[in-house]
């Protein structure tokens, strides 16, 4: 009898996790303040607990190291280059979901359904209100290489994923040789060595160190709502390049299902929830990003920036040029 009880206890110890398996594990590059409200809402609606590990880098490598023993179900990332890295390292799996496919336009998801965009952000050019003014609809990224901007441009590292994606899109549209020439021109026009983040470039415009800079759209929203940085935001206009040609470059934040997801059904439920109206609205309000799902209202501040024509090239195609973009950045010694 004692032996039977012991066996029963052992069986119960193995059964306990299965009974408590209404959970999903997320590896995230996205900051806690942004995603936790959505996860709380998801748990409220489904009863599924969301466990999150936050990181600034190295998630793809972590998934590789953990292999089939990884607890990860869903991976949240901040850029197309990081989404592409997940597929390149074979640490994610294809997801077949009519819900996600209906919510996420084809150009913003992987052709093999291994990653999906969740939010959109544009790669803008910020211009000094005092010294430059608003740039017209005819302004293009290519113009940054023009002589009139000599000593007037600030940017973060050319090898930051946001800039690598922009260079990749230039290669997709104009070819390798023309893009290299453009990079040489932009480098020649820099007011200082590439450094800092996107907000630091706007600060530099405010301080008169440069007149224009590259920056993601949502940073303007963050600066406007930061009392210490609002003066930086007030010193610039946000401009959407290539409005009369290919459209403004659009990057994304996104998600993928981990290759060895132990809670695959719950992972799918979370991924579908994140592309739905409620989560998309929360993304829009909290981080000043553009919802990937059509018809979801932008935040009032983002709406005030006006409509724009977005580049329609597939992000999957852009990702294919990332290694070439890095090669060109090295060849022109952009960051040196």
Task: Mention every residue, 6+ apart, whose C-beta is less than 8 A from residue 12.
Answer: none
DSSP class of residue 258 equals E
Q: Which class for 326: exposed (0-12), middle (13-18), buried (19 or more C-beta within 10 A)?
A: middle
Angle in degrees, 0-180, between the axes of helices 277-287 and 264-274, rounded to the nearest 10: 60
Q: 94 near 259, Cβ under 8 Å?
A: no
Phi/psi for 36 (5° steps) reads -60, -40
Known binder of ligand: residue 218? yes
Taking alpha carbons only, the member of 228, 243, 262 closest to residue 305 is 243
The continuous run of DSSP H or E covering 195 comes out as: none
The continuous run of DSSP H or E covering 273 comes out as: helix 264-274
Per-residue burial over 146-159, b if 16 or more Cβ lie within 10 Å, else e, is eeebeebbbbbbbe
Q: Which class for 300: exposed (0-12), middle (13-18), buried (19 or more C-beta within 10 A)?
A: exposed
Per-residue burial over 245-263, b if 16 or more Cβ lie within 10 Å, else e, is ebbbbbbbbbbbbbbbbbb
213 beta partners = 126, 154
Known binding-site residue numbers: 218-219
Known binding-site residue numbers for Fe cation: 218-219
């Amino acid at each position: 009898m004692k032996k039977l009880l012991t066996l029963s206890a052992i069986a119960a110890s193995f059964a306990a996790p299965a009974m408590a398996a209404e959970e999903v594990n997320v590896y995230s590059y996205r900051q806690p303040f942004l995603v936790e409200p959505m996860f709380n809402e998801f748990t409220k609606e489904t009863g599924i607990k969301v466990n999150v590990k936050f990181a600034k880098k190295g998630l793809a490598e972590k998934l590789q190291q953990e292999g089939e023993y990884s607890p990860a179900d869903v991976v949240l990332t901040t850029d197309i280059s990081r989404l592409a890295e997940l597929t390149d390292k074979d640490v994610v799996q294809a997801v077949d979901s009519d819900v996600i496919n209906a919510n996420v336009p084809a150009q913003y998801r992987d052709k093999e359904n291994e990653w999906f965009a969740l939010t959109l952000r544009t790669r803008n050019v910020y211009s000094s209100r005092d010294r430059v003014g608003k740039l017209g609809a005819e302004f293009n990224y290519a113009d940054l290489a023009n002589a009139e901007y000599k000593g007037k441009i600030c940017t973060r590292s050319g090898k930051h994923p946001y800039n690598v994606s922009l260079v990749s899109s230039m290669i997709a549209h104009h070819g390798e040789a023309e893009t290299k020439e453009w990079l040489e021109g932009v480098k020649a026009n820099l007011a200082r060595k590439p450094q800092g983040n996107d907000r630091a470039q706007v600060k530099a415009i405010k301080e008169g160190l440069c007149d224009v800079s590259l920056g993601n759209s949502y940073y303007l929203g963050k600066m406007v709502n930061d009392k210490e940085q609002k003066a930086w935001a007030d010193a610039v206009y946000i401009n959407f390049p290539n409005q009369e040609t290919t459209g403004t470059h659009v990057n994304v934040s996104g998600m993928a299902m981990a290759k060895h997801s132990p809670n695959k059904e719950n992972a799918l439920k979370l991924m579908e929830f994140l592309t739905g109206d409620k989560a998309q609205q929360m993304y829009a309000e909290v981080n000043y990003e553009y919802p990937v799902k059509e018809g979801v209202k932008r935040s009032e501040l983002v709406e005030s920036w006006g409509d724009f024509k977005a580049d329609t090239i597939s992000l999957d195609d852009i990702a294919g040029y990332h290694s070439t973009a890095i090669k060109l950045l090295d060849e022109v010694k952009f960051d040196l």
